[in-house]
């Protein structure tokens, strides 16, 4: 079977891969995109609850996790949120800011995918889905062995993502290629993922499954203030997903259920002014009623404030402002939105995403050891790293 030939082959038809392919195609390069999935952009379509949180108005390097926190600066500066927003507006896609600078499509994530596919189409990019890769070799050029025959290219861009959400086709292929070509790896773990608990903690959390609450969640020196959510296995919600990317194995996290209040002062004041009220009734002024009833032992929650000593109230206050919880794990890559870790940036150019020791090889997107916060940051990394490589191939 004769080889297909192109200037550039992009492995992966996700956000980073499609954008990189479009940029390279716009520069006059012949580009082939290969993906084992039946259709392109599967992860795009489910993102943001189907609305695609495609970027954030306030992106900075501090919003990303990496063994080298400075690596992402060049690419992020080279392609900003404003640049992508301008493309979205030019495509006539309506969008809105939800909170904290997060931008979502008004209609559907499909609008973003349609825009990317349109860019690729106009640039002459050849997208081949349902194509499985059995091997990659390099001599004068790259030869990619596929289920539809070999493909040859002078440049190879790895955009196959991380390990998160295997049901959408996620694999460790990018890491296998990295090892093959001598690139280092930073250990991979699930990020932006719900936390799992056991024993006594899980027992009371399960009773509150479905209850969301405002909280400040802390792990080490890192903290996030957003909504949290009880699940049948533990905790989820934006604040918990954010902290999960920072949480070390077997480490505890702190939960402040009243992040704007000094619980000790509040409870003592309420004892003076509402001494005949039950503690759970007073707590329901500040947290959801089910949480007020469920997070304390029944005998304490039902007790009348006037009957509780200052010491007892102070213990409740400490639990409200500084509850310590010990997760036993996470929901794993099956529920993780991203992969923390990946291809070591020490072997990549921060300006072009090229492998410094392998001419013509580029690694972009989630496969790289750059992981964004929840809120559009990972998409912005996909656009920025894809643009950097697309301009360099």
- pLDDT tens digit string along 63-80? 999 999 999 999 999 999
Spatial contact of 252 and 244, defined as CB atoms under 8 Å apart: no
Q: In whole numbers, what is the pLDDT of the chain averaged over residues?
A: 96
- pLDDT tens digit string along 336-380? 999 999 999 999 999 999 999 999 999 999 999 999 999 999 999
Whole-prediction pTM: 0.94
When computed from its CA atoms, the radius of gyration of the chain, rounded to whole angstroms, is 24
- pLDDT tens digit string along 148-194? 999 999 999 999 999 999 988 899 999 999 999 999 999 999 999 99
- pLDDT tens digit string along 318-344? 999 999 999 999 999 999 999 999 999
Q: The tokens 């509150």 sit on which residue?
A: 208
3-state percent breakdown (helix, strand, coil) of the chain, nearest 5: 35, 25, 40
At 96, phi and psi to the nearest 5?
-150, 160
Domain annotation for the chain: domains and CATH numbers: 4-190+339-390 (3.50.50.60), 195-330 (2.40.30.10)
Three-class secondary structure of residue 87 per DSSP: helix
Q: How far apart are CA 91 and CA 80, in angstroms?
A: 17
Q: How far apart are CA 380 and CA 309, in angstroms?
A: 53
β-pairing verdict for 329-330 and 338-343: unpaired
The string over 29-65, giving b where at least 16 C-beta atoms fall within 10 Å of a residue's C-beta and e elsewhere, is: bbbbbbbbbeebbbbbbebbeebbbbbbeebeeebbb
- pLDDT tens digit string along 101-118? 999 999 999 999 999 999
120 confidence band (pLDDT: 50, 70, 90): very high
For residue 183, the number of C-alpha atoms closer than 13 Å in the C-beta half-sphere is: 31
Q: Provide the sign of the torsion angle of the four alpha carbons 68, 80, 177, 349, taken in this order.
A: negative
Res 294: pLDDT: 86
């Amino acid at each position: 079977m004769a080889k297909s030939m192109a200037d550039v082959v992009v492995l992966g038809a996700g956000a980073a891969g499609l954008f990189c392919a479009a940029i390279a195609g716009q520069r006059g390069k012949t580009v082939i995109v290969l993906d084992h999935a039946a259709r392109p952009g599967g992860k795009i379509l489910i993102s943001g609850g189907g609305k695609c949180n495609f970027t954030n108005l306030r992106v900075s390097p501090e919003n990303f996790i990496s063994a080298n926190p400075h690596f992402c600066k060049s690419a992020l500066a080279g392609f900003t949120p404003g640049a992508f927003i301008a493309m979205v507006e030019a495509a006539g896609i309506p969008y809105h800011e939800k909170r904290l600078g997060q931008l979502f499509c008004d209609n559907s994530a499909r609008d973003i995918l349609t825009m990317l596919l349109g860019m690729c189409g106009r640039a002459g990019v050849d997208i081949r889905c349902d194509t499985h890769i059995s091997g990659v070799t390099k001599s004068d050029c790259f030869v990619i062995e596929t289920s539809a025959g070999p493909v040859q290219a002078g440049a190879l861009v790895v955009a196959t993502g991380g390990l998160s959400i295997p049901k959408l086709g996620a694999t460790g292929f990018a890491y296998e290629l990295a090892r093959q070509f001598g690139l280092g790896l930073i250990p991979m773990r699930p990020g932006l993922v719900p936390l799992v608990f056991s024993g006594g903690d899980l027992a009371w959390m399960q009773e509150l499954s479905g209850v969301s609450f405002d909280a400040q969640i802390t792990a080490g020196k890192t903290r996030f203030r957003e909504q949290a959510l009880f699940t049948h296995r533990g905790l989820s919600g934006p604040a918990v997903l954010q902290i999960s990317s920072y949480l070390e194995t077997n480490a505890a996290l702190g939960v402040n259920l009243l992040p704007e209040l000094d619980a000790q002062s509040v409870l003592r004041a309420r004892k003076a002014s509402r001494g005949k009220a039950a503690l759970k009734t007073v707590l329901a002024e500040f947290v959801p009623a089910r949480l007020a009833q469920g997070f304390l032992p029944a005998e304490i929650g039902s007790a009348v404030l006037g009957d509780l000593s200052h010491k007892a109230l102070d213990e409740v206050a400490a639990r409200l402002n500084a509850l310590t919880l010990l997760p036993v794990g996470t929901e794993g890559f099956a529920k993780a939105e991203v992969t923390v870790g990946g291809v070591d940036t020490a072997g990549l150019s921060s300006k072009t995403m090229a492998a410094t020791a392998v001419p013509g090889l580029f690694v972009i997107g989630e496969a790289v050891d750059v992981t964004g916060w929840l809120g559009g940051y990972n998409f912005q990394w996909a656009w920025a790293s894809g643009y950097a490589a697309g301009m360099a191939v």
